[in-house]
Structure 1
Amino acid sequence: MITQLSRLRFEDPWSGEVVSWADSGGRLVVRREDIAAVTVELTRCARGRLRHAYPVAAHDVEVRVSDVATADDLTAVLEVLTPAIRIADPQCRKVVYAVDRDDSGRSPLSALATSAAAEAAGFRYVVDVDIADAELSLLVAEPDWVTAVDIDLDHVPGT
């Protein structure tokens, strides 16, 4: 079952204005005084364009950012979105940022610069996927509870 994605809340100096919102995500404009307004689209991966691209979980959220002017601005926006998503949905295992590998001028940033900006915001590259209209590199930000590893191999968790 795919759960509803709650609206995000931002702390000063950030603000977010909802353009549209539905159970599986929404579109908002995110602002900070020193950064031009950026349009952000959030979608539950299980209902969005990535639903068949990888083994999605019900709480995974894809972040799409448009109107971003620089790599530093993209990093700043992703750094504020990731914790806001985790607060809105504490069960979110993956915040996914997909980088279009085609540098055909749809974005002012190259695929390499976009990936580097996402990595600077705490995302890590996971896999390349093909969807109907794009070739994407998926980067994810996961909370510590997802990536924690118990190195005590002689102990069965929960016992």
Structure 2
Amino acid sequence: MTDESLVPPMFGAPWTSQVLSWSNSRGRLLLRRGEEIGVTVELQQCARGRLRNSYPVGARDVEIRVFGAVDAEHLTDTLNAIVPAIRAADPRCRKVVYSVDSNGAQRTPGSGLSTIAAAESAGFRYVVDIDIAETELSLLVNEPAWVTEVDIDLNHVPGT
């Protein structure tokens, strides 16, 4: 296993997960909160997945795909559980990416805008629309504070 291998995230109560499949770059989990209906979550290293040629991907960027969320609130709750679990599994992950299908084939009920709003409620921000072979996607990212911090001391070279 290489240093860049995707590590299965661990979830604390009330969340439970079951690994459905896992490899070095991609995994599928069944994620549940208590007795709620479970959702399938797919995690993919962006550098090895469908987004690899779509933006300047980092080796540790992870795309999240959620299947089976019953509504926008359920999606927000799910994303709120997944992001910290990914960060705990790989503290060097710079971007967690969530994509919304711009062609209307949503993975959650409602419009693309309601899905984007649900992701934004979970701390994601819209970045760009991209085209990949099978569809057009709106990419949203969640980045830790250490990535987005700005050093306002213009007389200082970072890292020195």
TM over 0.5, yes or no? yes
**Contact in 1 for aligned 2:66/2:107 (Cα 8 Å):** no
> Comparing 116-125 with 26-35, which one deviates more in the overlay?
26-35
TM-score, normalising length: structure 2:
0.95
State the partner residue of 2:134.
133
Is there any run of 5+ residues in structure 2 with no aligned partner, and where? none
Rounded to whole Å, the distance in 2 between the matches of 1:41 and 1:115 is: 18
State the partner residue of 2:20.
19
Alignment of structure 1 residues 87-126 onto 2, 5 Å: 87-104=88-105, 107-126=108-127
Q: Which residue identity is paired with 1:70?
A: D
TM-score, normalising length: structure 1:
0.95
Identity %: 59
- The answer to whether the aligner puts 1:57 opposite 2:39 as a matched pair is no
What is the alpha-carbon root mean square deviation over aligned residues? Answer: 1.5
Rounded to whole Å, the distance in 2 between the matches of 1:12 and 1:117 is: 22
Give structure 1 regions of 4+ aligned residues with deviation exceeding 2 angstroms.
Answer: 104-109
Deviation at 1:108, TM superposition (A): 2.2
Rounded to whole Å, the distance in 2 between the matches of 1:80 and 1:99 is: 18
State the partner residue of 1:74.
75
The one-character-per-residue Cα deviations of 1:30-85 (angstroms, maximum 9, x if unpaired) are 00025320000000001110000101010000000011101000000000100100
CA separation of 1:104/1:59 partners in 2, compared to 1, >3 Å: closer, same or farther? Answer: closer
Rounded to whole Å, the distance in 2 between the matches of 1:7 and 1:30 is: 12
Paired residue total: 159
Q: Which residue identity is paired with 1:58?
A: A
Is there any run of 5+ residues in structure 1 with no aligned partner, and where? none
Deviation at 1:107, TM superposition (A): 4.3
